[in-house]
Structure 1
């Protein structure tokens, strides 16, 4: 089972900074606990104490979002379908847990979401079926949390999605330079007034602005 559902869960849920590897579940190849940043490095961090789950985390722009979220103090869970790049990224930035599965496999994605401990604050989706994430958000995410969808296929329905999952917020970032996408994603996570927006990095936020 994933590291966070074992007797010693990952750090946000009451253990030390490092979890333990587990056996596969729900079509995944298992999760690996990781060490996080020391608390002394996180003063003035806007995502301090918040949990961010990054799905499809090894795509270039999404990988940069993971880095920025960790720098902002987040407790981070990342997934990808490729074990090698996922391991490399986790070792580079230091995360609480990883899980390796194909995010395009709806059953595996549902199983992963169902295995997460307690509530999370933000989910970044860099691939896979958004319907799974929307259902999860309605059931489990913290009020005022956010879904950040990195895609070019959903801008027309972002307002509808935001209305469906409120008070969880939903925003879409279209393709752009990785650094700009990452800074935009973190800005959207920490701004409680932004929901139902479609952002093209390098331009002002625009969209339905559903509140």
Structure 2
């Protein structure tokens, strides 16, 4: 079977670990050249060596000027961009730190807009801009007053972007819990209990890993009929 991304270039914004790095590996296996970006130089160097990256760039994707400069500096057009950059923030209403709230809005609302504007003319159609979203908007939960509305906003934004910048495609992957190094750091000594709970309760009876998301990302990149769409990958968590 022919490599599905042969001759194409994939940019991973936040590509030094987790879903970004797993997607870089999958894209390389499908014949693509990959460009990795991140904020941590040492981690980026290790990731680049892992996947034999075509190029790397160290910058903060949350800074619109740095993001725009990255695309302006690309020597050649690219074909696909996966964006995993941006953290999260959960707080009850009474405890909200509005500096953190503004950072969250910047990362999950304005960053996609800045990236889409910067990518026009630098990403070849029928390639895709592919954003990472979540499933936290599907069921109300305490401490979700900020993150859940932003999660809900991204698929709506993507639909409108897909119309506005066509024929460039725009899509979003809505992921539930993904067992990454970041998840392990955040949960600490609770990680094994969380894994056991998911294996017991998820309809697929296993934990979703970054490789699962990477497989989906490459599928969206290679199927040129997909645009303006949201693809949920959560092991069936939304059904519970």
Same fold (TM over 0.5): yes
Q: TM-score, normalised by structure 1?
A: 0.72
Query: Could you report, residue by residue, the CA deviation over 1:108-152 in whole angstroms, capped at 9, with x for unpaired residues?
Result: 111111101121111111125112221133323212111111123
Q: TM-score, normalised by structure 2?
A: 0.63
Q: 1:56 aligns with which of 14, 23, 28?
A: 14
Residue matched to 1:189: 221
Counterparts in 2 of 1:142-181, with a 5 A limit?
142-152=124-134, 153=151, 154-176=154-176, 177=208, 178-181=210-213
Residue matched to 1:77: 35
**Distance in 2 between the 1:61 and 1:131 partners?**
21
**Distance in 2 between the 1:190 and 1:202 partners?**
21
**Regions of 4+ moved over 4 Å:** none
**Distance in 1 between the 2:79 and 2:51 partners?**
20
SS in 1 for 2:121: helix
Residue matched to 2:194: none
Residue matched to 1:28: none
Distance 1:137 1:203, change over 3 A: farther
Q: Is 1:61–1:179's contact at 8 Å kept on the other side of the alignment? A: yes
Query: Could you report, residue by residue, the CA deviation over 1:18-44 in whole angstroms, capped at 9, with x for unpaired residues?
Result: xxxxxxxxxxxxxxxxxxxxxxxxx72
Q: Is 2:16–2:48's contact at 8 Å kept on the other side of the alignment? A: no
Q: Is 1:138–1:165's contact at 8 Å kept on the other side of the alignment? A: yes
| 1:90 and 2:90 aligned | no
**Where do 5+ consecutive residues of structure 1 fail to align?**
1-42, 205-211
**Distance in 2 between the 1:75 and 1:62 partners?**
14
Q: What count of residue pairs does the alignment treat as equivalent?
A: 162
Larger Rg: 2
Q: Is 2:12–2:34's contact at 8 Å kept on the other side of the alignment? A: yes
Distance 1:141 1:179, change over 3 A: same
**Distance in 1 between the 2:19 and 2:61 partners?**
16
SS in 1 for 2:34: strand
More helix by share: 2
Residue matched to 1:7: none
Provide the aligned C-alpha RMSD in A: 1.8
Q: Which moved more, 1:189-198 or 1:150-159?
A: 150-159
**Distance in 2 between the 1:79 and 1:182 partners?**
17
Residue matched to 1:117: 75
**Distance in 2 between the 1:90 and 1:118 partners?**
19
**Distance in 1 between the 2:68 and 2:32 partners?**
23
